[in-house]
Structures are given as structure tokens and as C-alpha cells.
Amino acid sequence: MPVAGSDGTQQASQQVTALRRTLHERGLRMTPQRQLVLDAVRALGHATPEQVCVQVQEKAPAVNITTVYRSLDLLERLGLVRHTHLGHGAPNYSVHEHEHVHLVCHGCGAVTEVSTEVMTQLAERLADDSGFALDVTHVALSGHCRDCRSRDIQ
């Protein structure tokens, strides 16, 4: 019987088991480095590969950025993480079930998350007009946040 509040831990454990099985089926193995990268993405929420590398190096200083990039690529191909471009820099990675639209402020750089439901009408219109199926979980919209807009008005 699960302990109250252990759902996140239990879910993470199930994902690790599934990851090990998937890797084994593909002739690969779950390395400590891959596990550390996945753990770092989970802990950071949204992170660039460089941020993931810093987090991983706290536990394993010998892990380099190339290993982090390769691990992120593999984890994304397995559907465990996904990336989003939030502007002109490196992509940001998050765990797969972390689905939302990102609002990125050009003024202060703030990133706000909103429900994917805000894109429903656009997605439907694109599908109707052009047959295009929008992946609303992989969207970042650029503009200016409320605070920056109010500063510009003053």
C-alpha cells in the first residue's frame, strides 16, 4: 500500500524500471550517468543542458557536457524528456508529463507556464484550414509580460 505523499517517488521508480527495460530491449543499459541526467531534469523542472550538467557534476564531477547531451538525446527518443526552445539560447528540457505552453518575456526573460487549453482554438483552426496537427505541448510564445508592459506604459 503506497504511503501518502509517495506518488511522485513511486511514479519515478516506475519510470526508472520502464527505462531500464526499454534500454535492455534496445541492447543498451541504464548507466549511472543516464540516471543522473534524468534525475537532474526532474529536479530542475526546466533546464538547459548546461544547467543539467552542473547539477550532475555535483554528484559525478567527471561527467562532461557531451555525455549530458547524448543522455538527453536518448531520453528524449525514449519519450522520457522533451525539449522546448524558449528563445535564442539552448533548448530547455523537462520531463515528458510536464505539459504546458511557455510564455517568454522579451523584456525581463521571465518564463510563465499556462495550460495547453489556451491553444485549443488555434490548434483546431490549423487542423481545419491546413490539416496541420499542432503539438501544443511543445510551444513557446514570445512577447512582454504584464510587469514589462506596465513599465513601458509609464
Write out pLDDT tens, residues 63-117.
Answer: 999 999 999 999 988 888 888 887 777 888 888 666 788 898 989 888 888 888 9
Instruction: Report yes or no on 85 lying in a domain.
Output: yes
Set of cell numbers at residue 57: 557534476
Which amino acid belongs to residue 24?
Answer: H
Q: Whole domain around residue 127: which residue ranges?
A: 101-153
Residues 73 and 136 in one domain: no
Residues 49 and 112 in one domain: no
For 10-49, write each residue's pLDDT tens digit: 766 776 677 778 888 888 888 899 999 999 998 998 889 9
Please give the pLDDT value at position 5: 45
Residues 66 and 129 in one domain: no
Contact by Cβ (8 Å): 65, 73: no
User: Which CATH number goes with the domain that contains 44?
Assistant: 1.10.10.10
The set of residues, in sequence order, having a beta carbon less than 8 Å from that of 128 and lying 6+ positions away, is: none
CA distance 132 to 32: 40
